[in-house]
Amino acid sequence: MARRRRIRRWLTGGLLLALVGGGIFTAYQVMQRSDAVITESCTAKVGSESYSLALDQTANASLISAIAVRRSLPARAASIALATSLQESKLRNIDYGDTAGPDSRGLFQQRPSQGWGTEAQVMDPVYATNAFYDVLIKVEGYESLPITEAAQKVQRSAFPDAYADHEPEGRAFASALTGQSGAGLDCVLRPADANDGPGAVSTEMDAAFGAQDGTVNGATLSVPAAGAQGWAVANWAVANAKSLGITRVCFGGQAWDRHARNGWQAADSSQSAVQISTYAPTVSSTP
C-alpha cells in the first residue's frame, strides 16, 4: 500500500510539473505570436486628430523635419515639405518617375532635367530636402500661403491642387517632429534586437540636426536640449527607434517605452537632456 501511495504521489507530482511546464510554454507561444502580429506604425497626434504612417515614411518625415529645425525654419516649412513629399513619393525615396516626369527621383520627385541636381544628388534625402527648402524660402510670404499653393510654387506640378490632400497629416507630423506639440509622436514596434548602440544613434542624429554634443553612458545617449528643440530630438528618436534599436526615450518628465506600447507616459525625470536608450543584450559570462 505504501508503495502504491508513493507511485500515486510521483504520478501526481509529474502531472503537476507537466501542467505547469505546459502553461509556461503556452504563455511563451502566445507572447511570441502577439509580437508577430503587431502592425508596426507611427502615429502623430495634434489635439483630437491623429494620423499614421509606416515606419519608413515616418523616418523620412523625421529627417525632413529635422533639417527644417537645423535651418531654423518655421514648422510651417516642414508642413509644406511633408505634404509635398506625401503627394510626390508617399514619403519614400523612390528611384523612378511617372508619366509627367520619367526622370523624377527621390523624396520630392525632383527632376535633374529641370535643374534640381544630378540623379545621385536628388536620390540623397539630405540633399533633396535642402534643395526643396532652398526654393521654398525664396517664395515670398510662403508662411502665410495655403500649403498646396506654397508647394506648387516650388514643384510646378501638373496637378497643383493635389498637395491639399495631404495637408492634415503633413501638419500633424511636422508639429510633432519639430517639437511644437510636445510628446506628439508614438510608434508601436516589435521588441528590439541587435543594433550598433548609442554611438550609431548619435551619428544619425548629428547628420539630421547638426552636431548635438551628445554623451554616451553605457547603452544610453544623453543629448542636451530644451523646449521645442528637445521635443524635436525626442520625437526623432521615437521615429527612428526601429532602425536604431532604441528602446526608451525620456524628456520633459515623460517617457516613451518601446516594450510598454502605451505611448508617452509620466516619468520621474528632472533632467533637461533627452535620454535615449538602446537595446543592450545580456551577455552571460562563461564559468
In this model, does residue 22 exceed pLDDT 80?
no
Please check whether residues 105 and 217 belong to one and the same domain.
no
Look at residues 177, 203, 226 and tell me which one is the last residue of a structural domain.
177
Give mean pLDDT, residues 28-54: 77
Look at residues 177, 205, 227 and tell me which one is the last residue of a structural domain.
177
Residue 12 forms part of a structural domain: no
Question: Quick one: angle between helices 55-70 and 75-89, nearest 10?
Answer: 140
Residue 125 forms part of a structural domain: yes
pLDDT of amino acid 41: 97
pLDDT of amino acid 6: 53
The residue behind cell 513619393 is 89
Please check whether residues 153 and 49 belong to one and the same domain.
yes
Q: For CA atoms 244, 207, 69, 233, give the dihedral sign.
A: positive
Give mean pLDDT, residues 25-40: 56
Give mean pLDDT, residues 240-267: 95
Residue 9 forms part of a structural domain: no
**Can you tell me the distance from the alpha carbon of 68 to that of 236, in angstroms, rounded to the nearest whole number?**
13
> What DSSP state is assigned to residue 98?
B
pLDDT of amino acid 282: 56
Confidence of residue 99 (pLDDT cuts 50, 70, 90): low
Confidence of residue 100 (pLDDT cuts 50, 70, 90): low
Give mean pLDDT, residues 61-89: 97
Residue 283 forms part of a structural domain: no
Confidence of residue 33 (pLDDT cuts 50, 70, 90): very low
Please check whether residues 60 and 143 belong to one and the same domain.
yes
Please check whether residues 120 and 231 belong to one and the same domain.
no
Please check whether residues 173 and 199 belong to one and the same domain.
no
In this model, does residue 101 exceed pLDDT 90?
no
pLDDT digits (tens, 9 = 90+) for 158-186: 677 889 999 999 999 999 999 999 999 99
Mean pLDDT of the chain: 87
Please check whether residues 159 and 238 belong to one and the same domain.
no
Please check whether residues 135 and 237 belong to one and the same domain.
no
pLDDT of amino acid 269: 64
Residue 212 forms part of a structural domain: yes
Please check whether residues 151 and 204 belong to one and the same domain.
no
Overall number of domains in the chain: 2
pLDDT of amino acid 131: 97
Please check whether residues 159 and 112 belong to one and the same domain.
yes
Can you give the residue range of the structural domain that contains 228? 190-278
Give mean pLDDT, residues 16-26: 45
Give mean pLDDT, residues 16-29: 44
Give mean pLDDT, residues 62-78: 98
Give mean pLDDT, residues 198-216: 96
Residue 25 forms part of a structural domain: no
Task: For residue 272, give Cα distances in angstroms to 19, 180, 240, 259, 269.
Answer: 50, 17, 21, 24, 8
In this model, does residue 83 exceed pLDDT 80?
yes
pLDDT of amino acid 36: 57
- DSSP letters, 195-259, are ---HHHHHHHHHHHHS----EEETTEEEEE--HHHHHHHHHHHHHTHHHHTEEEEEETTEEEETT
Please check whether residues 166 and 245 belong to one and the same domain.
no
The runs of H, that is alpha helices, within the chain are 2-36, 55-70, 75-89, 119-122, 125-136, 147-155, 167-177, 198-209, 227-239, 241-244
Please report, rounded to a whole number, the percentage of residues in the chain having pLDDT higher than 70: 83
Residue 96 forms part of a structural domain: yes
Please check whether residues 171 and 196 belong to one and the same domain.
no
Residue 173 forms part of a structural domain: yes
Look at residues 148, 177, 206 and tell me which one is the last residue of a structural domain.
177
In this model, does residue 32 exceed pLDDT 70?
no
Please check whether residues 120 and 213 belong to one and the same domain.
no
pLDDT of amino acid 156: 85
Give mean pLDDT, residues 101-118: 89
